[in-house]
Structure 1
Amino acid sequence: MYAETVNFPRMARVKQIIAQSAIKDIRSAVSEEVKRINVADLIKPGEKVGITVGSRGIANLKVIVEVLIEEVEQVGGEPFILPAMGSHGGGTAEGQIEMLKSLGISSETMNVPVIACGEASQIGTTQQGIPVYVNNITLSEQLDKVIIFNRVKEHTEFEGEIESGIHKICAIGIGNPKGALTVHQYSLDFGYEKTITEVGAYIINHLPVAFAFATVENYYHKTAHLKAMLPNEIADEEKRLLKLAKSNLGKIPFEELDVLIIDEMGKNVSGAGMDTNVIGRILVFGQKEPEKPVIKRIVVLDTTEESHGMATGVGLADFTTKKLVDKLDLWSTYFNCITAQAPEKGRIPIYFATEKDSIGAALTCIGITKPEDARVVHIQNTNEVEIIEVSESLVKEVVDRSNLQLLEELKPMQFDEVGNIIRI
């Protein structure tokens, strides 16, 4: 097989110099920010308050939700967790609860109920004729007010002034599978930003929103910014926060590669499994592909445990491994891809029994460049690009750049006895 026939390039470990700030005392910072908007004016004693929690691995998630609960209780409100994750968790109440448990959020850990529901009802139609769906819990006697909580970050399928954040968790998260499917369907015709913004704004205006709370993370996935917003402030503040989030992005420090090796993909890494802003591929009908980086072949070797077999985004790669394919929960993956109107992302790439064969095969599909001379980068995942491995052909560029530090000398690409590449 390819493991025996390919001359693998020599590799060296490199560090990107990334200096970014973070909030040290999260609990105090959240409390101060919430108190700034005077919660007593927004939530009355005895009101049942749902706090949205999605399926993403947000930094300091448990602490932030704990403080939001405490602030509601201090003014006499009765808080509960409202799962808001669209089609994730298999689109069922039970699946939503399990997904939150994997993030450390449960009725036991938070000491408040987690009230989940997989059903949604239409509450209206936007000016463009887009149906708007919300979780049935938001329409029941179990809820008087809602706090919309989410992280603001770049989206993996489009670019705009508003991408992934408060509007998205409203339009797709609170919408449950029905709402998520509807938003993605209309996005193919109207565009993602317009659809998400319009549906999200409709929900903000028609649900009893007490306030929204957003976080922004730095490259190291540490909480860097916090913001509590009144309903009429959400649109402008989310645009500002997105600019901050994009300034914190970590990317591969080369614009052209022959092969990118990724140790793991997963929903806890990116909504697309692999961050499309890092790999330079989107694969969404109607959306323009990024101009940079240009990567000829991508190899993804495994999926994270936190993904529970959901491998949405595996279709972004050219090669993978039998190990990853054997972990696939096909129903969960297909359900998420179809809901997102992106069946391309569920396609299974060419795969081999060993990582060495998969990488070797990729190195044979890069044109006239010899494998040993290929421009290759090896990363843990698309969220972890501070410490990377680069091939010999890239080392000169490393030496010439002040933001890159060579950590070790070149050595043969390292594999263990069963053909797995040595992890970074």
Structure 2
Amino acid sequence: MNSLNLSKFEEIQLPKFLKLRQNFRSDRITDIKEEVKKRFKAHLCNLSNKRIAVGVGSRGIANIDIITKAVIECLKEAGAIPFIVPAMGSHGGGDEAGQKKILDSYGINETTMGTSIDASMDTELIGMYGLDLPVYVAKSALLADGIVIIPRVKPHTGFRGKIESGVCKMLCIGLGKQKGAESIHSKGFEKFPELIPEVGRLIARKTKLLFAVAIVENAYDETYKIEVINKDEILNLKKEAALLEESRKLMGKIFIPKFDVLVIDEIGKNISGNGQDPNVTGLYFTGCVSGGPQFKKCVILDITKESHGNANGVGVSDIITRRLFDKIDFIAMYTNCFTSTYMEPCKIPMVASNSEDAIKIAVKTCNGVMGGQHKIVWIKNTMELENIIISEPILEQVKSNPKLEVLTEAEDVKFYKGEPKFSWDKI
């Protein structure tokens, strides 16, 4: 497949760019291990010689290796025999090796954690929700004497409800493995505001669930809060609902409401289930939620190593690069979309030869804007939003916002063989 050769067309002018800092609330936990131990004290009763399944997901949660190791150590100190169960639905290509590989990329393996990992995809039907929704849970977790899960609580990317991503979602989709995730998704995101909390509660009632170690992050992708929620508290939903609202207020965003082109340097399953978080970009693939900044075109330049080729979410963009396209593991991506029942995230946009061409194509196809006057917002990814790049035509808009700080003078972005010559680490 060939990409468009821009040398055959009239030169496309890009505006000058400058670096910008977005300022968010920065409270965070400094001693993660000590915080976990402090929160655990009241929950480590009657665990001697009991096998405890510890559910860990596929998201790129800050300090997840430290938190998981601290949970394992606390359980061991209480006399328990913990082991890890990947609680990530169909991710990792929906197989045992793939799910172990995802955990290993986060520093979670049998050596670093000092315990075994049972990544079997086998599930068991534990009941029905209503007349036609079978509910599945991983056999490895059901055979244990107790279950502990480690979810992050945050707004979901495809629906709005009292309970979204977090404890209940990890129970019914994460611990359900591919079969459980497919069952829930078969009802569509329209039903998620009801299904996520109610099926989560059903699983909590019917299994040996002990508690959840719930995590809330700040806008800087740092651990803001760790809360241990016991079984009764999971069933009444109040603590999780409160954590969700807290997370919603803390999460990062783009403070520029309207522009022409959004450039995203990288997407990945470690960043969001959609590769990029629509709560930040407004690039939702369901009709169940809306909002976010307004723009005409979106460019995605690359995919993270941690995503292992699963480019789920790439379909919401208009242009991608050849580099990204060549990294796609279509089976992993298709398994994800097949399970979720939504095909939009795996559709392939226009493929440009390189990053420079991708941005120029986006600019050229924004109608009604003079050359060199395009308003462009360029982010690394939707988890790292403190430092961003904007084009000079947005500058006046920025100066009136106290949460935005200009860091540099405007200048041309230099490209080498079609790739930008700057490092996000040095912004």
TM bracket (short chain): over 0.9
Question: Which amino acid in structure 2 is aligned with residue 47 of structure 1?
Answer: K
Unaligned runs of 5+ in 1: none
C-alpha distance in 2, partners of 1:38/1:348? 48
Written as runs of structure 1 = structure 2, the 5 A alignment for 1:282-321 is: 282-284=284-286, 286-288=287-289, 290-321=290-321
Q: Is 1:79–2:82 an aligned residue pair?
A: yes
Aligned to 1:382: 382
> Identical aligned pairs, as a percentage?
36
Alignment CA distance shift 1:102-1:206 (3 Å): same
SS in 1 for 2:415: coil
Q: How far apart are the structure 2 equivalents of 1:293 and 1:210? A: 41
Q: Does 2:18 align with 1:12?
A: yes
Give the 3-state SS of the residue equivalent to 1:193 in structure 2: helix
**Helix, strand or coil: the match of 1:181?**
helix
Residue aligning to 2:267: 265
Shift of 1:245: 0.8
Which residues in structure 2 correspond to 1:41-52 (within 5 Å)? Answer: 43-52=46-55
Note if contact 1:130-1:199 (Cα within 8 Å) is conserved in structure 2.
no
Match of 1:233 in 2: 233
**What code does the residue aligned with 1:267 have?**
K
Q: State how far apart, in whole Å, the 2-side matches of 1:401 and 1:139 are.
A: 52
| 1:13 maps to amino acid | K
Q: Which amino acid aligns with 2:43?
A: N
* SS of match in other structure, 1:154: coil
Determine the C-alpha separation between the residues in 2 that align with 1:364 and 1:192. 39
Q: 1:161 to 1:196 in 2, by over 3 A?
A: same
- Check whether the contact 2:221–2:384 (CA below 8 A) recurs between aligned residues: no
- For 1:12 and 1:404, locate their aligned partners in 2 and report how far apart those are by CA, in whole Å: 12
Q: Distance in 1 between matches of 2:221 and 2:153?
A: 12
The whole-number CA distance in structure 1 between the counterparts of 2:80 and 2:218 is: 32
Rounded to whole Å, the distance in 1 between the matches of 2:369 and 2:267 is 27
Amino acid at match of 1:262: I
Question: Quick one: which of 35, 43, 55 aligns to 1:38?
Answer: 43
User: How far apart are the structure 2 equivalents of 1:304 and 1:181?
Assistant: 25
The CA deviation at 1:417 is 2.1
| Corresponding residue number in structure 2 for 1:29 | 35
CA shift, 1:132, in A, is 0.5
> What SS does the corresponding residue of 2:151 show, helix, strand or coil?
strand
Q: CA deviation at 1:49?
A: 0.4
More deviation, 225-234/63-72: 63-72
- Partners of 1:356 and 1:415 within 8 A in 2: no
CA RMSD of aligned residues (A): 1.4
Distance in 2 between the 1:230 and 1:16 partners?
37
Q: Hey, what's the Cα distance between the residues in 1 that align with 2:18 and 2:127?
A: 57
* Aligned partner of residue 220 in structure 1, secondary structure: coil
Asked if structure 1 preserves the Cα contact closer than 8 Å seen for 2:152 and 2:167, the reply is yes
SS in 1 for 2:260: strand
- Using the alignment, how far apart are the partners of 1:371 and 1:185 within structure 2? 46
Instruction: Please list, as runs of the form range in 1=range in 2, the aligned pairs for 1:195-210 lying within 5 A after superposition.
Output: 195-210=195-210
Q: Which of 255, 258, 280 is the equivalent residue of 1:256? A: 258
Deviation at 1:128, TM superposition (A): 6.0
Q: Distance in 2 between matches of 1:417 and 1:25?
A: 42
Is the CA contact 1:279–1:295 (under 8 Å) kept in the aligned structure 2? no
**1:150-171: CA deviation from partner (whole Å, max 9, x where unpaired):** 1111111112221111101111
For each residue in 1:312-337, what CA deviation from the matched residue of structure 2 results, as whole angstroms up to 9, or x when unmatched? 00001110011100111010011111
The corresponding residue for 2:175 is: 174
Counterpart residue identity of residue 169, structure 2: K
SS in structure 1 at match of 2:408 = coil
| Cα distance per residue 1:385-421 (max 9 Å; x no partner) | 2111111211011222211111111112x13220112
Superposed displacement of residue 227, structure 1: 0.7
Which segment is superposed worse, 86-95 or 327-336? 86-95
The residue type equivalent to 2:161 in the other structure is: G
Normalised to the residue count of structure 2, the TM-score between the two structures is 0.94
1:44 Cα deviation (Å)? Answer: 2.9
Alpha-carbon distance in structure 2 between the residues aligned to 1:155 and 1:38? 28
Distance across 2 between alignment mates of 1:220 and 1:330:
31
- For 1:371 and 1:254, the matched residues in 2 are separated by 21
Q: Partners of 1:360 and 1:399 in 2: how far apart?
A: 26
Counterpart of 2:50, as a letter, is: E
Residues 86-129 of structure 1: per-residue CA shift (max 9 Å, x gap):
00111111221111111111111111111111121211011364
Change (3 A) 1:158 1:371: farther
Q: What is the SS of the residue equivalent to 1:294?
A: coil
SS in 2 for 1:132: strand
2:62–2:222 contact (8 Å) kept in structure 1? yes
Separation (CA, whole Å) in 1 of partners of 2:292 and 2:214: 29
**Which position in structure 2 is the counterpart of 1:135?**
138
Q: Which residue of 1 aligns with 2:420?
A: 421
1:345 and 2:345 equivalent?
Answer: yes
**2:109 and 2:117 in contact (8 A); partners too:** yes
- Contact 2:219–2:385 (Cα < 8 Å) also in 1: no
Asked whether the equivalents of residues 25 and 250 of structure 2 are also in contact (C-alpha less than 8 Å), the reply is: no
> Equivalent residue of 2:358, what SS?
helix
SS in 2 for 1:295: coil
What secondary structure is seen at the aligned counterpart in 2 of 1:360?
A: helix
- Describe the SS at the equivalent of 1:298: strand
1:64-97 residue CA offsets vs partner (Å, 9 max, x unmatched): 1122112211221111111111001111112211
Residues 117-132 of structure 1: pairs in structure 2 closer than 5 A? 117-127=120-130, 129-132=132-135
Aligned to 1:278: 280
What does residue 106 of structure 1 align with? Answer: 109
Mapped contact 1:265–1:381 kept (Cα < 8 A): yes
C-alpha distance in 2 between matches for 1:298 and 1:19: 27
Report the 3-state secondary structure (helix = DSSP H, G, I; strand = E; otherwise coil) of the residue aligned with 1:373. Answer: coil
Partner residue of 2:69 out of 66, 72, 75 = 66
